[in-house]
Chains A and B, each alone.
Chain A
Amino acid sequence: MAENVTIKEQASPTSAQAARRGISWGWIGVVPFFVFAVAFMIVPAASLLVGSVQNAQGQFTLDNIAAIVQQPDIVAAYRLSIGISLVTAVGGALFGFLLAYAAILGGLPRFVRTGLVTFSGVAANFAGVPLAFAFVATLGRTGLVTAVLNSIGVNPYRHGFSLYTFAGLSLTYMYFQFPLMVLVIAPALDGLKREWREAAQILGASSWHYWRYVALPILLPSLLGATILLFGNAFGAYATAYALTGGSLNLVTIVIGAQMRGDVLNNPNLGYALALGMIVIMAFSILMYSWLQRRTERWLK
């Protein structure tokens, strides 16, 4: 009898003693995570931030940040990065949406959806060096598709196309942008209730009416959010571009990399400013995406 009573007392988590002990144990469980996050994420990012507003002597200055919008080669790098990110974001969102729509709501057999989602998971991770190799084998000077086009008399390289330029890189980026869009928009498409379509129909709506008045407006925040996410994704990409162009294409990420190898900018603090710019753009894109997600969720309670 006595043992039962003691065991009960020990197990009660609401007793003040246990609570005190619990909290201190809890902090021990959680502190390593925060220490690690600070050491390996916050501090490095902060040090870049600090470095970006310093000059060579360590004094505070906003010159580096100003240089981002003034120095021509930096502006060019941003223009290129933003350009590729915009093109692959919009293009990726469009075709990715069509793919996801076809697989989920298009009346196709179930295996199409499963296959598309699984493949998207793989393709999203195939990015980087192997992807670059694959596209060289496809659209490089001796690539398969190039050869096929040659045989029917069209030589893309003669017409100015090159895999190692804006257009080629964009095409390559699509290989992970399409899948990312599919994975991100699939839940939103699932959320389109069948009853909405039926209610619209019974009120006299055609397919077009349904899309214009109901489905697209409902999907718009998700579509926008996903596009922005794709933008950030492309903007931060490094490995694919590096492996494909060997660093010859001056994207912001490539320039940062070059700066790390040697002082190509003639001003290390400028490199930090570039990194800061990246963080700002990425943070903005993630924030917008979350905000738009939350708005949709509120509607679709």
Chain B
Amino acid sequence: MKRASFWSWLWIALGVLYFLLPLIATLNFSLRARRGVLSFDAYRSVFSDSQFYQSFGFSTEMAVLTIIFSVLLLLPTAYWIHLRMRWLRPVVELVTLLPFVIPGIVLVFGLIKTYSGAPFALTGSRFGTNLLLVGGYIVLSFPYMYRSIDTGLRAVDVQTLTEAAQSLGAGWTTILFRVIFPNVRVALLSGAFLTFAIVIGELTLAQYLLGGTQAFGPYLALVGRNKAYEPSALAIISFALIWAAIGIIQLVGRGSPEQRQLGGMR
């Protein structure tokens, strides 16, 4: 390895400066709720706001539902692709990349246009909008969930495991849930945590499908409009949450540490 040059340190230093400054500024701002002193007042205000817990709880619920149904949809699909229908693989991969082509605002636009009128009328009811929301989130999670499941399946010899299980008399559901799934659990986790990070902070779909501040994203936006110091505290809390999620992915995911961990609403 070459000796480290001045320029290398310079770029890194500039990068650190650019990335750290906003965090420091936000932290600083969040501690100045009380005049003249550093205090945690802003945080206290946030944590005593029932809306905070309600919206966060709601978004967490949505995230969990998204993860569960995403896995239910993608795991059998990926499994069959690996096992029998390899020719379908490019098609499926293309489909899981489509969410990049359809940004959130366009997706929600399309969802509303399609499902608000007859015969669905989903946008009228609570259940309907939640359904659309979870559906939209599942779409958004496709690239990351599919990739992590695919990675997990590649690390395991799917063909042999299946044949071994079959020869011992297992049926398909048993194979899927008691043989395949436990072996890809770890890989799944990285996709799951990424999905969680995306759903928690998501604004676009939540705003247009639900309105109000039911979800965490719109709640953040509302606080941003009305309060002065709480937004900074919330930003710090969000950042800490994402650090935790990504940190767990790094810890647990033994795959390439640079699996593209992009996501989120921009």
Contacts and interface: CB of A to CB of B under 8 A. Distances in A.
Nearest to B15: A99
Given A26-B80, A133-B232, A238-B104, A106 B4 contact: yes
Contact of A29 (B24, B77, B242, B243): B77
Interface string A164-175: 000000000111
B103 A108 contact: no
Interface stretch (B50-58, B181-189, B253-261): B253-261
B234 interface: yes
Interface string A76-112: 0000000000000000000100110111011111001
17 contacts: A10-B167, A25-B172, A26-B85, A29-B172, A106-B5, A106-B8, A112-B12, A124-B264, A129-B203, A133-B231, A133-B234, A137-B26, A137-B30, A178-B19, A238-B203, A238-B265, A282-B101
Q: Which of A48, A180, A232, A256 has the most CB of B within 10 A?
A: A48
B110 A239 contact: no
A68 B167 CA distance: 62
B45 interface: no
Contact of B84 (A26, A122, A178): A26
A117 B106 contact: no
Contacts of A184: 260
A130 B221 CA distance: 9
A62 to B, nearest CB: 19
Interface stretch (B33-41, B91-99, B150-158): B91-99
A191 interface: no
B138 interface: yes
Contact of B221 (A8, A23, A36, A129): A129
Contacts of A183: 258, 260-262
A30 B15 contact: no
B191 interface: no
Contacts of A47: 110, 113-114
Interface in B185-202: 194, 197-198, 201-202
A144 B139 contact: no
Interface in A150-196: 173-176, 178-180, 183-184, 186-187
Nearest to B113: A47
Q: Which of A98, A126, A184 has the most CB of B within 10 A?
A: A126
A119 B15 CA distance: 11
Contacts of B5: 106-107
Interface residues of A, number: 99
Interface in B221-252: 221, 224-225, 231-232, 234-235, 238-239, 242-243, 245-247, 249-250
Interface of A: 7-8, 10-11, 13, 22-23, 25-26, 29-30, 32-34, 36-37, 39-41, 43-45, 47-48, 51, 95, 98-99, 101-103, 105-109, 112, 114, 116-138, 143-145, 173-176, 178-180, 183-184, 186-187, 232-240, 242-243, 246, 253, 256-257, 260, 271-272, 275, 278-279, 282-283, 286
Contact of A275 (B109, B221, B250): B109
A285 B163 CA distance: 42
B63 to A, nearest CB: 13
Given A44-B113, A106-B7, A107-B4, A125 B25 contact: no
B206 to A, nearest CB: 10
Given A184-B260, A238-B104, A22 B84 contact: yes
8 nearest interchain CB pairs? A44-B110, A106-B8, A236-B103, A237-B266, A121-B261, A144-B25, A11-B167, A29-B76
Contact of B18 (A121, A132, A178): A178
Contacts of B245: 125
B84 to A, nearest CB: 5
A44 B110 CA distance: 4
Contacts of B197: 125
A70 B2 CA distance: 56
A3 B9 CA distance: 70
B217 A129 contact: yes
